Structure 1
Amino acid sequence: MSTLRFQALREASTRKPVIFEESDRKSNLFGANVFNDKSMKQYLTSDAYKGVQGAVQHGTKIDRKLADYIALGMKEWALSKGVTHYTHWFQPLTGITAEKHDAFFETSMDGSDPVEKLGGAQLVQQEPDASSFPNGGIRNTFEARGYTAWDPTSPAFIFGTTLCIPTVFISYTGEALDFKTPLLRALTVIDEAATEVCKYFDKNVKKVTVTLGWEQEYFLIDSALANSRPDLMMTGRTLLGHTSAKGQQLDDHYFGSIPTRALVYMRDLEQECMLLGIPVKTRHNEVAPNQFELAPIFEEMNLAVDHNCLLMDVMQKVAERHHFKVLFHEKPFKGVNGSGKHNNWSLATDTGINLLSPSKTPMSNLQFLTFFINTIKAVHDNESLLRAAIASAGNDHRLGANEAPPAIISVFIGGQLMKVLDELEGVTPGKLSPEEKTDLKLNVVGKIPDVLLDNTDRNRTSPFAFTGNKFEFRAVGSTANCSNSMTTLNAIVAKQLRDFKVEVDALIESKDMKKDDAIFNVLREYIKKSKKILFEGDGYSEEWEIEAGKRGLSNFKTTPEALKARVSKQSLDLFSELNIMNHVEVEARYEIELEEYTKKIQIEGRVLGDISKNHVIPTAIKYQNTLITNVKGLKDIFGAEFETIGKEQIVLIKQISKHIEGINSNVVAMTNERKKANTLNDAQEMAEAYCNNVKPYFETIRKHCDKLELLVDNEIWTLTKYRELLFTK
């Protein structure tokens, strides 16, 4: 057995769970390291506190003088907890968070005593070097200036000995260089659009908040075993490796008893989350061996996205203490389930109403129907754009596999609600009620069953499913920043709600139609126009793929295909009209995502070539030489009888030679295609070349390597095997 693999297995097999004691009730720990409302009341002046609350609740601007008092209070709170540094914590377009730490410690030119300092200017704005962050052509490399600006709607927090201040990240010329800025803009737009529609039903509604509950799936692998695999270290997934005889086929891991080491890790992680104000609630085994899921209580979307970004960082840091490696990749292992990040999306009013939660009262159900049907219409009209929002190299492996939604975007609402929409579609157009307004509410809207919460079964094959009081966007990848998909979803729904209000108002004004009649006339037309996006069956089936084609739904199976919708006229006009992103910002993201795709496939190709030629082939040759020596010995001993006795060894030697040749020839061909692709200057063409000309070799090379894994002596195979990675507890 190879030294590295042997050492890794020995280290993993002797590993004991880290002793961890939960120190207090979670409710007592929650938010202890967050500059939350309780901390602000204690450390801020009355005016400073009101300034922060005004910014959070009403979007009012905090002036610089007030910012000085806020910074002073925030610094004193942080110092009281042993903090030494502060950072502007932001989400550049790399897909991970970024931070630059500065010490509170300062000296003065006049030689006076050093002090700990954080001023309002340092709190509100900083200027990190932006030259090495992705920008998609917005700026030149030599133009390094970029600004981070404080986002007061997401509270500062302490991680380790650093005060982290959530911020947006913009260029010198004002374009967004991060995920947070477009999301904040989208949240503002949907708030305004939804609030205006809500006033049809309740004049007291002044604000609509978007809520998000994400579900984070991940694998836990012993760190020694993970580090013994060059592909896991460099790409986050196994580029080769034969499937284990036992995988997930017995369904014995899903919701099973959580392994002791994993449970101790989860308890430690949950304590860190409590301190950071991340309201984690659910933990369980997922379908694949060593795969798990974590989910929080729903939060306001901006905060929920920040918490998910923070969580992914915290998960890795806590994993180090427990000698684990967390794998977030959408498909780290062939033959078992990949990982997603289901985004549960809903809308809530400041009067306490979930707009996607049906009610027993007819009027409330008319409001529910309004937002429910408008969301379906938004997805119908923008299904290609939603697909683009979840496109990535990792997610391409997962979408359409047996544990994930297909690449075809459709909406599942359940048989009961399908029946309701069918009934409402069949109502006679025009004025739907006589003079008594209650007739509409009782005879039409009243057809909806009284109890609609959890009225649907779940459809694991649906990428966008209604689950009782929310929509679940299941197609989002596990590595993704939720902002990307949620900015798009909020934008298309906001646009749809704006259009809806225009149409309803026009009917009321031009046809002297009652408000409820006008609303229902528009909704009925939306039902008719959006029917092709609704699908209740098996999204994995070939029949659905054929049917979806007949319906005119897109089926973009690769990222280069899907991303074209990013820069369609419809997309550019949408984001520009809503002031979420201008054309430059949208096109920049398109370029960045294409480049990221290309680089990831490029890295995987290089790593696969390296492992194949420096691990697999030498090991195969070594074993082949052993067989050759064995054959020579048998021939010397048995002479003429050797033709019968040594037959199988000869066959094995030929098989090994065949697979070695297959690896060599395909690695050479893949490398040549990579070189050709690298000469292309257009980002779309290069991404397509890597997708269509380079990536296809991966499976061929893997097939030969995996066959050799079965043929070569286990004692000399250098790579840690699937059975060891997935079943070591």
Structure 2
Amino acid sequence: MATLRQEALSLVQGRTRRSATPPSNKISDYFGVNTFNDAQMRQSLAPSVYKKVVEAIEKGTKIDTATAEEVASAVKTWAISKGVTHYTHWFQPLTGSTAEKHDSFFDALSGMERFKGSTLVQQEPDASSFPNGGIRSTFEARGYTAWDPSSPIFIFENTLCIPTIFVSYTGEALDYKTPLLKSMDAVNAAAVKVCQLFDRNVKKVQPSLGVEQEYFVVDKALFAARPDLVMAGRTVYGHNPARGQQLDDHYFGSIPTRVKDFMFEFEIEALKLGIPVSTRHNEVAPGQFEVAPLFEEINKATDHNQLLMDVMEKVAEKHDLKVLLHEKPFAGLNGSGKHNNWSLITDTGVNLFQPSSSARENLQFLTFLVATVKAVHDNADLLRASIASAGNDYRLGANEAPPAIISTFLGETLTEVLDELEKNGNIKIEKGDNMYMKLGIAKIPEIILDNTDRNRTSPFAFTGNKFEFRAVGSQANVAGPMTALNVIVADTLSQMSDDIEKEMSKGKDKKIAVVNVLRKYITESKAVRFEGDGYSEEWEKEAEKRGLSNLKSTPEALDVYTTKKIKDLFTKHKVMNEVELHARHEIMLENFIMKVQIESRVMGDLGLNHIIPTAILYQNKLIQNAKGMQSLGLDNSAAVETIKEVSKHIEALKTNITSMIDTRRKLNTDEDIARKAKGYQTLVKEGFFEKIRYAADKLELLVDDESWPLVKYRELLFIR
């Protein structure tokens, strides 16, 4: 057996459990202890200062210098009392991960710990090496981080972390948080205007989010023995094991002991950070799991998801495990997504997607439901672009994941409601005796919560009191797709408000005006509603007939950001300007190119330096055996056939890798980034990846197991 693989497997067999002890038997005793949360602020700040901070959080008012000094002093005292010596502005650049630069509280010149209000509010990290899409030249390094008071300050790994936005010297957003915050303002303004048609007491509408995070866990030693996992986050080679997920025995099964110990410890650390993790379970594929928190305000939920991934990875190391967040780390098995459960909540405590027994609330519910469906219909390409990445392309449209075609699922009952409303302005619900009432003229009958099955094949499904955007990739920063969703819903609600006002200006009763607009929107957005199997070939054909896009690759999907429609949409709602959109388009294309480039290099390295030499050694061994059999007068035809097959796959592997390298070299001379990305998609990825993998995986089946250099799928997935 290859030495590295043998050593890795030996290490796994000797693993022992690592246990963790929670600070208390009651989670409520330690939830949020490492955050400067509302309770801590009440305790630490003067009432007048606390009031100003709360106003900044709830109303977006600016924190003045004196208030910042008071907050900084309280934060420093709190952090030092917990043994913290350093602080950092914690931000989310367009790399996809988080960033931080640590500074010490200790000032050697004064011999004291210092932390000024100005330092809390703003810092100036070097912005030259972060992706900026041409906004700044490399030699123009200035960038700013600015405190986001709406997301709690926290302590992580003995460092005080201050959530911030990150912008360039000239003011353009260089992060995910800034556009998200602006999109929240946009959807708030538009939603409040519509809400006040039903309830004048509504003054604020806040997007809410719950992120279900899927991931794989493998042993750290086995991970280290797979260069492709280390470098690319996924296995570029590997034949499916005899047993994969076909028995459906892993889903919701008993959690493996070492993994449960890991889960227990990372949940403790997450809860200390105020992340409301609630659910854990095995997912469908062997070695795949899920963690899900409770719903939070969308900005906080986004920060918490980024932080949770970091916590998981760091805690896994302590358990000699490795968390795989790539969307498709193993071919032939379910990939991992990040299901974004999104809703809109009013400051009066109403979930706008919650059906009700109240006639007024149900009309309001239908208004926001229809507006969201219309927004998805009109902007499906933007939603597709918002989830585009090299990793997610392997998952979208595969056997377990939503397709690249964006559609919505509402369920049988709501579909009947909308169809009846579209046809007659009436509602018909089967519930015991038939009920038939005129919508908006008499009263709206109750719409029962969870009165239909779920559809796991829908990329954007209504699930009782929220929409679930299931197509987001597992390693994505959810701020990207959530910004897009907020903006398109804000735009549709804004248009809906105008349309209702036009109807009312014609002398129509308000309820009748609302119903008329709903009927129009239902008709215009009907094509995007689909209740069937989103994985089927029939749906692809049907979607094409309906005029729905099927943007299968990232370079194709990202072109949406260059269209006038999308530029106008983002600038209209002041979420991103044309420069920022252009920058993001370039950054995402560049990221795609680099990811595919890395994968192709890993394929070449493993193929030429690991697999082919191993296969040749085995081939020579077979040749010697065949000669020996021949000299003894024995039938060696089976050995000769195997030699021929091994030779065929070695030649295919070598030829295709060499051609892929030549193709890559030519593409790298192209200065047009969009053309280059499409070349990497069609000429490199589609042109060679499957051919190369096929040859390598065939050799894995043919070469003696003891000689194979790479840890196999059966070992990665089933040995813990």
The TM-score normalised by the length of structure 1 is 0.96
* Offset of residue 445 of structure 1: 7.5
SS in 2 for 1:54: helix
Residue from 315, 318, 325 that aligns with 2:315: 318
Residue from 612, 619, 626 that aligns with 1:624: 619
| Partner residue, 2:430 | none
For the residues of structure 2 that align with 1:152 and 1:623, how far apart are their CA atoms?
63
For the residues of structure 1 that align with 2:70 and 2:384, how far apart are their CA atoms?
45
* Offset of residue 449 of structure 1: 5.3
SS in 2 for 1:645: coil
Distance 1:539 1:445, change over 3 A: farther
| Partner residue, 1:10 | 10
| Partner residue, 1:284 | 281
| Partner residue, 1:48 | 49
| Partner residue, 1:434 | none
1:550 matched to 2:545? The reply is: yes
Contact 1:406 1:539 in 2 (8 A): yes
Distance 1:315 1:426, change over 3 A: same
SS in 2 for 1:715: helix
For the residues of structure 1 that align with 2:103 and 2:194, how far apart are their CA atoms?
46
For the residues of structure 2 that align with 1:666 and 1:613, how far apart are their CA atoms?
11
1:56-84 Cα deviation digits (max 9, x unpaired): 01111001121111100000000010001
* Offset of residue 634 of structure 1: 2.2
Q: Tell me how large the CA RMSD over aligned residues is.
A: 1.4
Residue from 230, 249, 252 that aligns with 1:252: 249
| Partner residue, 1:598 | 593
Contact 1:211 1:301 in 2 (8 A): yes
| Partner residue, 1:471 | 467
| Partner residue, 2:531 | 536
1:489 aligned partner, one-letter code: L
1:667 matched to 2:663? The reply is: no
| Partner residue, 1:188 | 185
| Partner residue, 1:127 | 124
Q: Which moved more, 1:76-85 or 1:43-52?
A: 43-52
* Offset of residue 627 of structure 1: 1.2
| Partner residue, 1:432 | none
1:325 aligned partner, one-letter code: K
| Partner residue, 1:702 | 693
For the residues of structure 2 that align with 1:157 and 1:444, how far apart are their CA atoms?
48
| Partner residue, 1:648 | 638
1:506 aligned partner, one-letter code: K
SS in 2 for 1:426: helix
For the residues of structure 2 that align with 1:547 and 1:426, how far apart are their CA atoms?
23
For the residues of structure 2 that align with 1:225 and 1:297, how far apart are their CA atoms?
33
| Partner residue, 1:611 | 606
1:584 matched to 2:585? The reply is: no
Instruction: Show structure 1 runs of 4+ deviating over 4 A.
Output: 440-449
Residue from 636, 640, 648 that aligns with 1:658: 648
Contact 2:439 2:515 in 1 (8 A): no
* Offset of residue 107 of structure 1: 2.5
1:683 matched to 2:673? The reply is: yes
1:3 aligned partner, one-letter code: T
* Offset of residue 354 of structure 1: 0.4
1:192 aligned partner, one-letter code: A
1:642-690 Cα deviation digits (max 9, x unpaired): xx52111111111111111001100011011101110111111000000
Q: Percent identity between the aligned chains? A: 60
| Partner residue, 1:361 | 358
2:474 aligned partner, one-letter code: S
| Partner residue, 1:90 | 91
| Partner residue, 2:67 | 66
Contact 2:425 2:438 in 1 (8 A): no
SS in 2 for 1:695: helix
For the residues of structure 2 that align with 1:446 and 1:15, how far apart are their CA atoms?
69
Contact 2:425 2:439 in 1 (8 A): no
Contact 1:362 1:441 in 2 (8 A): no
Distance 1:447 1:416, change over 3 A: farther
For the residues of structure 1 that align with 2:310 and 2:20, how far apart are their CA atoms?
20
| Partner residue, 2:22 | 22
Distance 1:482 1:498, change over 3 A: same
1:605 aligned partner, one-letter code: S
1:500 aligned partner, one-letter code: M
Contact 2:441 2:511 in 1 (8 A): no
Distance 1:172 1:445, change over 3 A: farther
SS in 1 for 2:146: strand
Contact 2:143 2:168 in 1 (8 A): yes
Residue from 485, 494, 499 that aligns with 1:498: 494
1:44 aligned partner, one-letter code: L
For the residues of structure 1 that align with 2:632 and 2:439, how far apart are their CA atoms?
96
Contact 1:465 1:473 in 2 (8 A): yes
Residue-pair matches, total? 710
* Offset of residue 46 of structure 1: 2.3
Q: Which runs of no fewer than 5 residues in structure 1 stay unpaired?
A: 430-439, 639-643
1:227-261 Cα deviation digits (max 9, x unpaired): 10000000000000100100000000000011111
For the residues of structure 1 that align with 2:719 and 2:23, how far apart are their CA atoms?
29
Contact 1:92 1:134 in 2 (8 A): yes
For the residues of structure 2 that align with 1:105 and 1:217, how far apart are their CA atoms?
40
Distance 1:712 1:695, change over 3 A: same
SS in 2 for 1:359: coil
Residue from 443, 446, 453 that aligns with 1:450: 446
Q: Which runs of no fewer than 5 residues in structure 2 stay unpaired?
A: 427-435
| Partner residue, 2:431 | none
